[in-house]
Structure 1
Amino acid sequence: DKFGKLKFILPAMVVWTISGVSGFFLNDIYAILTSRAIFGMATAFIMTGASALLGDYYSRGGFNRRENALSLQGFFCAVGGAVFISIAGFVSSYSWRYPFLVYGLGILITLMAIIYLFEPRKFKFYNHTKIEAKTNYWQFFPIYFIGFFIMVVYYISPTQLPYYIEEHLGLDPKYIGISMSVSALCYGFFSLSYRYIIKFLSIKTIYVLTLFIVSCSF
């Protein structure tokens, strides 16, 4: 917020593209792991910055407007993930290197971001004469922990599913992408439905139900 979000998002997108595609050219497992670590850090910058930027774009017009925008963001992220995972699963049947080339689309996305994204004006909704109280972040620790736990559980499946499909079921690698895209599509569907679900269920109830469903799926 202090320096501007695009100053971090755009370089992160460049790093994301380069580190993603680099797996196609690398032969050493440690080099690939290093590139994936860099890729993960770039992803963190992009996801956090994009969500914050979207919140700024829709900061006026009421909470529901921003909520709907974030819901649509979740939907399109999931659908995009499902499409590209399916493509990666299909091309992996020819070579394990080909899925890395999918990240080359980051070049086009980065160019579009440079053209269309802008740094929003800063709107101050508080009194400058008041001294802001120091935020106690420890009170949010349970929320952070739940978010961390959900992401860990969510990404355990993609690490084990390919081995199960190939070694135990004996299926073609393209089914790996299809099976993983189903999860992404469900994620997108419920992201789009959140605006309607929140009218009937509290946030706490939604968390409890979704965690229960996740545990049942495992």
Structure 2
Amino acid sequence: MSVQTKKAGNLQGLALILPVVLSVMGSVLLAPIVPALMEQFKHIPNANYWVLSLLSVPALCIAIFATPAGYIADKFGRRRILIWAMIFYAFCGMAPLILNDFVAIYISRIGVGLCEAIIMVASTTLIGDYFEHDQRDKWLGSQAATASFSAMCLFPIAGALGSFGWRGPFVLYSLSLILVLGVIFFTWEVKKPQTVKTSANEKQRHPFPWAHMVKVCVITLIGAMMFYILQFNLGSALKANFEVNSSLMTGIMLSIASLGVPIGAVFYRYAHKKFSISALIMVEFGILAVGFICMSNAPNYQLFLAAGFINQFGAGMVLPTMLTWAMRDLQMDNRGRGTGMWQATFAFGQFASTMSFAYVVSQTGNVMASFGVFGIVALVMCLGTAVTFIYNRPNVSLTQK
């Protein structure tokens, strides 16, 4: 438990969940201008690969550097590095407004990713420092919902700015300079609790819960893969099976299906009070399985979209469940490291999602059948968790410390 001289409330919660918008901006802002970027940098060798990687390189940076960022947060404090990361994020993000060289722009995107890793770890760790039990779960669930809602809002805004040229959406990175004011004025650094000295006059620290974190991260990796599959492949499925060729219609349908994520995250805030960890995971993977299997057998795009919404509802519950589960066994002196480890796992799941789905499609030869394969995987996870739930009752709920 952390030692606080101040009581955190709604202002602190809002100040710390809003930076999640910055992590969403990493890829969302560039998605609508991919054709313009391709045209601008078509002279570059292997442009198809390098231009598209501008979208994904920030997530790769989170996967690699989130864990070291957690160590830094534990050693030097969360608030200080959060403020500086948000400031540097703005300048790295806006750099393409004046840069013309592709290599320089790519380096600026790496800078965005490094700052995102620190922002996500530091802000999430501070939520863990400030709040406990139900309040902590409330704000972590709100963080997931905020990320999903912001993505839905940023897609059309980035598209509108992109109509002025490929540099247009990069203006939005200046939002970080506004959000950092909330952190500066409404948060504080939490003091570390007094350590107990041993007979050898050495400081006794809480051991890092490796067994707990490995278990959480393994299931988080699978959940993260499930989380991104529909978002990355809905357009291909609509075009190949339902002859939906309009990018506008695809974007609208993706927004409708993705609406399930924030709704699922909000529903989690109520469900976690009544169900154990195992029960929640069982239900969530069950919902994912139903969505995937129904998607693979949908006779028209309307039912496909409805099944996609169900799938994303389950995905919206998975994210806060995994994060609050990870937080449960972390203490003040290792919370940053554990949060970084979790963030890195979830970010890596984004890459694993694209690679695993591409492999399954190469084996099945069909996008719709591939959804069914992942539906079976989700069903296996659901049944496996059900067995664990039955044989380990009574289980510890997420609301217990």
Are the structure 2 counterparts of residues 36 and 179 from structure 1 closer, same or farther at C-alpha, using a change threshold of 3 Å?
farther
Confirm or deny: 8 A CA contact 1:21 1:103 kept in the other structure.
yes
Partners of 2:248 and 2:95 lie apart in 1 by 22
Instruction: After TM superposition, list the pairs within 5 Å mapping 1:141-160 onto structure 2.
Output: 141-151=214-224, 154=227
Question: What is residue 69 of structure 2 aligned with on the other side?
Answer: none
Partners of 1:33 and 1:65 lie apart in 2 by 39
Is 1:187 aligned to residue 261 of structure 2?
A: yes
Q: Give the length in aligned residue pairs.
A: 213
Aligned-residue Cα RMSD (Å) equals 3.5
Partners of 2:104 and 2:222 lie apart in 1 by 28
Supply the AA of the counterpart residue of 1:103: Y
Question: What is residue 379 of structure 2 aligned with on the other side?
Answer: none
Question: What is residue 66 of structure 1 aligned with on the other side?
Answer: 136
| Displacement of 1:87 | 0.9
Supply the AA of the counterpart residue of 2:142: L
- Give 3-state SS (helix, strand or coil) of 1:23's partner: helix
| Displacement of 1:148 | 3.7
Q: Which has the higher contact order (CA 8 A, sep 6+)?
A: 1
Q: Deviations over 1:115-148 (max 9, x none)?
A: 2221134456x86659556436255334324434
| 1:209 maps to which of 270, 273, 286 | 286
- Structure 2: any 5+ residue segments left out of the alignment? 1-73, 294-307, 309-370, 372-401
Partners of 1:142 and 1:180 lie apart in 2 by 32
Is 1:50 aligned to residue 116 of structure 2?
A: no
Question: What is residue 171 of structure 1 aligned with on the other side?
Answer: 246
Question: What is residue 21 of structure 1 aligned with on the other side?
Answer: 94
Provide TM-score, normalisation by structure 1.
Answer: 0.75
Supply the AA of the counterpart residue of 1:32: I
* Percent sequence identity over aligned pairs: 26
Are the structure 2 counterparts of residues 103 and 150 from structure 1 closer, same or farther at C-alpha, using a change threshold of 3 Å?
farther
| Displacement of 1:163 | 8.6
Larger Rg: 2
Question: What is residue 381 of structure 2 aligned with on the other side?
Answer: none
Partners of 1:161 and 1:89 lie apart in 2 by 19
Are the structure 2 counterparts of residues 53 and 139 from structure 1 closer, same or farther at C-alpha, using a change threshold of 3 Å?
closer
Confirm or deny: 8 A CA contact 1:162 1:173 kept in the other structure.
no
Partners of 1:142 and 1:76 lie apart in 2 by 26
Partners of 1:213 and 1:94 lie apart in 2 by 42
Confirm or deny: 8 A CA contact 1:83 1:181 kept in the other structure.
no
Instruction: After TM superposition, list the pairs within 5 Å mapping 1:84-163 onto structure 2.
Output: 84-123=154-193, 131=204, 134-135=207-208, 137=210, 140-151=213-224, 154=227
Partners of 1:26 and 1:159 lie apart in 2 by 29
Question: What is residue 38 of structure 1 aligned with on the other side?
Answer: 111
